[in-house]
Amino acid sequence: MKRVLTRLIQLPFCLYAWLVTVIAIVFALVSVTLVPSATWRYKLAKAASRMPFVLTGCVPDIVGAGNIPSGNAVMVANHASYVDGPLMKGYLPSRFSFVIKGEMRDIPVVHFLLRRAGSRFVERHRPGGSALDARRIVRAAQGGESLAFFPEGTFRKHPGIGRFRAGAFMATIKGAMPVLPVVITGTREMLTADDWMLRPSRITIRILPPILPDDPAFADHRTLAAEARRRILEAIDEPDLLESEAEAGAAAPA
């Protein structure tokens, strides 16, 4: 009963937030369809991404903006909600291109919007497609394009930091660019993995000091991934899911 009452209280905000979100999506679709200039498309997509946060009063606190390098970089952030992508698109500098899971290609309208807004795609399940996409991402990094990744590749209902996939860090080493670890908090509370209810939430984007190419961690992409993950874990109040898995494995009967 208490849960039902809570959801009824949250319903007006939820309906308003979804209305604003739909308007923002329509604005973004019209913009990326009609505007020929890539620079302006990216700026308008950024404005559309900010709209739901501004109009619902959930503007994020941004901590450590001075840590963003003036040149190109690769951003890696923890992933907690569908909200994370629009949030980072709206509040990161426009030069960052988001690398998104290839399954989004199967949704034509979403694929069109994301592609025209400057996103890149990585196939996770088809080896041939994955290798081709990875080569494209590496070439983009070598060309000096700033990239943004959610290296966990997915998110879950419960808090915790999972395994980081290698792609972001291979591209980073090839491009010899700084890695910018970012911690996102509050988005899981705004929209959980298994629910449609949008809730008001205090969101924070914490930008940590970059890992520079002369850091010893750049010797190997696995070492670099582990270092970025370690820094994010130190800055967030969430469990290490790899540690939990290892402990569960050790406790399992032989």
CATH number, position 118: 3.40.1130
Per-residue confidence (pLDDT) for residue 127, from 0 to 100: 46
> What SS3 state is found at 122?
strand
pTM over 0.75: yes
Q: Which residues, 6 or more positions from 169, have their beta carbon under 8 angstroms from its beta carbon?
A: 76, 151, 179, 221, 222, 224, 225, 228
Q: Which residues, given as ranges, of the chain have pLDDT below 70?
A: 2, 4, 102-106, 122-134, 244-254
Q: Give me the sign of the Cα torsion angle 63, 68, 70, 75.
A: negative
Q: In sequence order, what are the residues at sequence separation of 6 or more whose Cβ sits closer than 8 angstroms to the Cβ of residue 18? A: 198
Predicted confidence at residue 129, as pLDDT, reads 46
Q: How many structural domains comprise the chain?
A: 1
Helix residue ranges per DSSP H, 56-126: 84-91, 108-116
161 is in which domain, residue-wise? 2-251
Span 163-175, pLDDT tens digits = 998 878 888 888 8
Give the pLDDT confidence score for residue 18 in this predicted structure.
Answer: 96
The CA distances from residue 232 to 56, 94, 151, 195, in Å, are 28, 23, 12, 26
Residues 6+ apart with CB under 8 A from 172: 74, 141, 179, 218, 221, 224
Check residue 156 and give its pLDDT.
85
